[in-house]
Structure formats: C-alpha cells, structure tokens
Structure 1
C-alpha cells in the first residue's frame, strides 16, 4: 500500500504521527484537530494556570495579551507546534514549564475552541513533531 493511501486510512491524529518530514502539513486547525472533551479539560486547566494573568474570559489586561482576537492573527499561518512549544517553555509565567505536555495540549485545544476552531473526533496530540505538522490556519 502506498504511503499516501496508508495516511488516508488512518485517523487524523495517527496520520500526523507518520507524515514524512518536509511534507505539507497533515492537518489544519480548520479541520478539527482537538476533541470537545480535551477542550473542556483545557478550560479547567486554563482557570487554574492561566486566568490569573489572561483573565477568565481570555481578554487579557493592559499588560497581558488577550488570547482571542489579535491572538489568532499573531499565531495564524504557522503551526500549532509553535504555540505548544511557547506555552511549554514560557507559561505559566510564575512557573514556566511546570505543566505536562498533555496539559499544554489540553490548553491549546481550549484556545482553539475559544477562537472558533472546530472540534474533531480525536484529541490534539501532545507530541511536538506531530503538532509541528498541524497548520494554525486563520478562521
């Protein structure tokens, strides 16, 4: 079976894991790359780890950026992996790197949902390589 046919037969999350380096992104945020359950878990984590700075409604403050609106334009046309990496290294501000990769993926799923990106059947992977192959597409 050819590599292309094999990728088409796999669920999206698995297809991401086996896409060859240098290929076009295997998916985009416009196609549903997280699950509703994962985004709900991310919302709870957001309240505990992020809301103190970014606000309960993701609106930010004078000093802290909002995680909607301009946020979407700032991250669009890159990869979800770039956002995931940034959150993993720099957030939460008072304890950078303290969240697990799975928790960071849950928070990213929540941010995608909050910015109007559709949910899919599979959760967003917590693997940097797989996330690098998911395009952060503008709405």
Structure 2
C-alpha cells in the first residue's frame, strides 16, 4: 500500500497461519494514520482483510494508493465542511474505512472485488477515481 499523502510505501504480510502479526498490524495502523494530525488508531482488521482479499481477487501486484484511512474527528469535520459527500459519523473516524485507488484497475473492478466478500460497505467515486471500502453494514453506493 502506498500512502499518497506521506509518500510511504507499506508492503507487509500481516497474517500467517490464522494469526495476525502484531508488529505488522502496528505498521498498518501507522501507515493508515490521519496524515493531517499524525494521529493513528487501531484499524479494524476486518477492513484490512476486505482490502487484502479484494487485491488478491484482482490478481495484481500493484499496491493500493491510500487516499484516506483513519480520520480524526477534526479532520472529518473539516472535510465535511468542504464536501457534502463526507459522512458526519464516518467510519473513517473509527478506523473502519479506507479510500483507495489503483492505476491498473478501474473503480468498477475494485468495487466488484470488494463487494464479492459481502462483508461491508463499498462506495464508487467516479469523479474522484477511488473506491471506499469499510467493514460496516453491507451496502453499496455511488458518490
């Protein structure tokens, strides 16, 4: 995963033989932090699993471009003041969502891969060219 805001790349195995690897999970949490505040939280591993599974289904070695992982309440409020597409109670603020992009796959392909897991929310944002994946209730939308 490449963090487009910080320039950091993360390529780590976080799960082996039914166990999460604590150090790898810490790296993921840091990588997905709110880049505006530097604040990091424990990301919900269900979201990471959806992201990872979708990437495997798409059969690409390209890392995701992470646009947004965790968002502090202050960051979410600021983004909400600029766009009607930002939810007041965004799952980003709970560490349960990510906004992602791939150069080698369309948002339709990405959304179809994530939706295949029937495990959370998947939003397609065509004008901004990204897909939102979360571990909340199963639902789909276009932004």
Instruction: Decide: shared fold, TM above 0.5.
Output: no
Q: Which has the higher strand share?
A: 2
TM-score (norm 2): 0.27
Higher relative contact order (CA closer than 8 Å, sequence separation 6+)? 1
Q: Which has the higher helix share?
A: 1
